[in-house]
Each structure stands twice: as C-alpha cells, then as structure tokens.
Amino acid sequence: MADSPRIVVDPVRPLVDERFSIRLVGFPSRRRVTVRARIPLDGRLWESRATVRTDAGGTADLDTQRPLAGTYGAADAMGLLWAAERIGDRPAPRERTRTDGDVSLVAIVGGRRVASTTVQRRFQRDGVTVTSVDHPDLVARLYDPPVESAGDDGTHPGVVLLGGSSGGFPSRRVASLLASRGYAVLGLAYFGREGLPSRLVEVPLEYVESAVDWLAARDRVRPDPLGVVGWSRGGELALLTATRCERLRTAVGYAPSTITFQGNTLFSDPGSAWTADGEGLPYVPLARPLGFRTRAVARWLRGRPLPVRPLFEQGLARAGDERVRAATIPLEAVGGPVLLVTGDDDRVCPADTLATRAVARLDARAGSHPCEHLQVPGAGHDIKVPYHPTTERATRSFPVPGRSLALDMGGTPAGYARADELAWERTLATLDRGLRS
C-alpha cells in the first residue's frame, strides 16, 4: 500500500533562528507540488510559495531542489521564510500571540490540498526567564538562561544588548535567543523611555557602564569578561563602551559607525550623541547640503524613501582630518575580539567603509586583538536575526517631529537573508570565543 502524502519537517520545534528541513514523502511520482507557507508574525500574516517536482519515488527535498516557480528561486527551504510577503495591513499588537512565528505548510497537487503540517517555532527555550530590572537608575530587562546551561561554577557569561535609533528596549527576540544559548542578557534602554533622555543626544556613557557593573554583580553571572552587542547607533555605543570598560572584552556591532557622529536628528546639529564625565564626546556633524530639507519633504510627500548616507559621507569630508581622528573610536582598546557586521548596500550610513578602515588600522598595529569585518553583498543597514521575512527591509519608517519619514535602508531580500544567517552564526562564534574560551 502506497504512503499517503506527507510533509516531513526536522526539527518540528526549532528556535526561530534555527534551520529546519522540509521534505515531501509519499506523493505521486514526477508531479508538480506547490508548498504554501503562512506565518503569523508581529501582528501580520506572511505568505510564500514554492513549486517543486517529485522524483520517481514521489519525494522532494526543498533544501536541494530549486523551485520551478514561487516567491524565491534558490534551493533553500528557508526561502519559504525570508521570501514571505505580507498579506493585508493589520497593525501590530503590543504583544506576540501564542502562535507567532509558527509556519503552517500546505502541499497542493492539481489544485487540491493533499497534506499539511505546522512547524512550531520558539522564541526561547524552556527555562529562560525575563524580569524587569529593579534599579532606580537603570531601565532594563534581564534575560536569565536555563539553570542547566550554567558552567561548572554555576555561572553564565553575560552580555549587554543595545538597540538602535528607534529608542526604548532592544529586541526581545535577540535577547531571548542569546539567553536560550546560555548567556545572561541585559536588554538595556538608553533613551526614549521614562527616566531617560527623550532623544539620542548627550547620552552619558557612564549609564551603560553602571549597567555593566550591575550585570557583573549578579550571582549567576560570570563577572569578567562580559560582552556587548549593539545595532546601528547602539553598535556605535557598544564599541565606545567596550573601549572604556575593562570588563567588556567582546564587542559585536551590526551596521555600526566606528566614528562618533552627532545626536540623532537629520535637520540640525544638536551636539554630540554621547557624553563622558559630563562633556560631549568629539563628534562629526552631518552635512546638510543646500536644498536637503526641501528634497526630503518632497520625497515624504511622494512616499519615496530617503537615503541619508550622503549626509554622513559629506560630513566626514567636511570635518577635516583632525576632527575625524578625535571622533574615531579606538577599537584597539577593547580587550578581546570585535566583530563588525555590515552590508555593501547600506544607504543609511557608511558603516561598511568605516569598518574596512578600522580593521586595516588595527591590522597595521602589532599585537592587536582580533577585529573581524563581515561585509555581506546585497545587504543594507537593517540586518537582523535569521529566518524572518526580508521582503520589506529595504525601507523603514523613521519618526521625525510631526511626521514619519521613510528611510532608504538599502539591500535586497536575498541579500538580507544571507546576511542575517552569516551574521548570526558569526555573532555566536565571536561571543563564544570571547566569553567562554
């Protein structure tokens, strides 16, 4: 008796950053089968498709077979995730639903649904706990890993996590995934929350340093060394703090600048983004060419995204060598491995160019610690954790007073998918090398 058609998935309950295989078994031989995926995520529904042909035995493997048609074109089962397109335009709720991230798979032959299954993806392993930090001066959440993942001394390596220019808490998804791999993670807000600066202007580095000391004092956290991971302006902050704080001996920056720039406004110069000992750090102001505001408003009215990378590049060109040197982050002062992650199509800031120069500078210095630059072709500014939809990454809404401006982030869906996977793999390897070895 022939097998009934089945969609075989392995593993069936992965973490959201883990790959899983998709195989078709027991289907009619040499037939076209369309696999449709639907993913509820962040309050929206995403859908993708791939059509493959079964072999003589009625099987097909989406990891080894290039789709005959569909929303992606490579032999990659994860294409059903990253190439998913949004259905409808429901607003995102404040909290995830219980099925958020699950992947519902349906196999269709000759217009008829013949098999289905669901991949129950998890944002964190069992045993991870999340608590708000009870401290009068810190706005943070602590993600404790499962107790059984502790080392022989009963402690876990610690990581401070910093978000970007949107403000508020950093990604809960990233923090939960790091905690699932045995890291105690302090998700730290540094502006945009009650009790903190309302804008990314003159944020004191001492605030982050006090958070590092708080994390090091936890009973279940190995106090030294600690690591720091940040995105965009949070990546800049991560690198800055790691050069000042001896406990921080591993740093990862996603699309970071290795030079400090002005506070986070486009239409004026509010001063330095960061302070130390009550004084603004040396910084490079953005350039605002004649007519920039008019062009920005015109793009906003037409719904066209605005590339702002030229403001950074022209600012660097106008600043002069002395000012740029004063604003350069001394990565050689970090006491361990550094990873810089960039895309070659970043249209927000020249993170790729600056990272290349920083690595070259460190390579020229004898005895420098490892500093690695992962630059991924086809990726823009918005690199994230893997196996999530990338089809809308090229543009992101950015709040400005009285309106919301769409920024051109750069990148392609396939380029982001590759960058997400490579960057996350390299991030985990860097943290492991710096904090576990």
Question: 97 pLDDT band (50/70/90 cuts)?
Answer: low
State yes or no: pLDDT of 41 exceeds 70: yes
Note whether 187 and 141 are within 8 A (CB): yes
Could you report the per-residue pLDDT of 400-424, keeping only the tens digit for each? 555 567 889 999 999 999 999 999 9
State yes or no: pLDDT of 334 exceeds 90: yes
* Average pLDDT of span 40-51: 94
Report pTM: 0.93
**Which of 127-136, 189-198, 260-269, 341-350 shows the lowest mean pLDDT across its residues?**
260-269
pLDDT of residue 365: 77
pLDDT of residue 109: 97
Q: Which of 381, 388, 408, 420 is catalytic?
A: 381
Q: Which two tokens stand for residue 247?
A: 């406990």
Amino acid identity for residue 327 in this structure: A
Tell me if the bond preceding 305 is cis, omega within 30° of 0.
no
pLDDT of residue 299: 75
**Which of 96-100, 205-209, 281-285, 391-395 shows the lowest mean pLDDT across its residues?**
96-100
pLDDT of residue 138: 97
Burial readout 163-198 (b: 16 or more C-beta within 10 A, e: otherwise): bbbbbebbbbbbbbbbbbbbbbbbbbbbbbeeebbe
Question: 296 pLDDT band (50/70/90 cuts)?
Answer: confident
Could you report the per-residue pLDDT of 271-280, keeping only the tens digit for each? 999 999 999 9
Question: 291 pLDDT band (50/70/90 cuts)?
Answer: confident
* Average pLDDT of span 21-32: 97
Catalytic-residue membership of 63:
no
Catalytic-residue membership of 232:
yes
Percent of the chain past pLDDT 70, that is, above it, reads 95
Question: 92 pLDDT band (50/70/90 cuts)?
Answer: very low
pLDDT of residue 93: 47
**Which of 123-132, 194-203, 302-311 shows the lowest mean pLDDT across its residues?**
302-311
CA-angle at 385, arms to 383 and 386, nearest 5°: 100
pLDDT of residue 302: 74
State yes or no: pLDDT of 106 exceeds 50: yes
State yes or no: pLDDT of 303 exceeds 80: no
Q: Which of 232, 257, 352, 388 is catalytic?
A: 232
Q: Which of 17, 144, 345, 346 is catalytic?
A: 346
Number of residues that make up the chain: 437
Find how far residue 232's CA is from the centre of its chain: 9
State yes or no: pLDDT of 1 exceeds 50: no
CA-angle at 359, arms to 348 and 383, nearest 5°: 35
Note whether 403 and 434 are within 8 A (CB): no
Catalytic-residue membership of 257:
no
pLDDT of residue 417: 97
Q: Give helix 233-244 / helix 205-216 axis angle, nearest 10°.
A: 70
State yes or no: pLDDT of 33 exceeds 60: yes
* Average pLDDT of span 219-237: 97
Average pLDDT, the chain: 92
* Average pLDDT of span 379-390: 97
Q: Domains in the chain, please, with CATH?
A: 6-119 (2.60.40.2240), 129-435 (3.40.50.1820)
**Which of 203-212, 357-366, 383-392 shows the lowest mean pLDDT across its residues?**
357-366
Q: What is the C-alpha separation between 434 and 249, in angstroms, rounded?
A: 7
**Residue from 159, 208, 162, 163 nearest 179 by CA:** 159
Could you report the per-residue pLDDT of 136-148, keeping only the tens digit for each? 999 999 999 999 9
Question: 346 pLDDT band (50/70/90 cuts)?
Answer: very high
**Residue from 296, 289, 291 nearest 314 by CA:** 289
Q: What is the C-alpha separation between 172 and 131, in angstroms, rounded?
A: 12
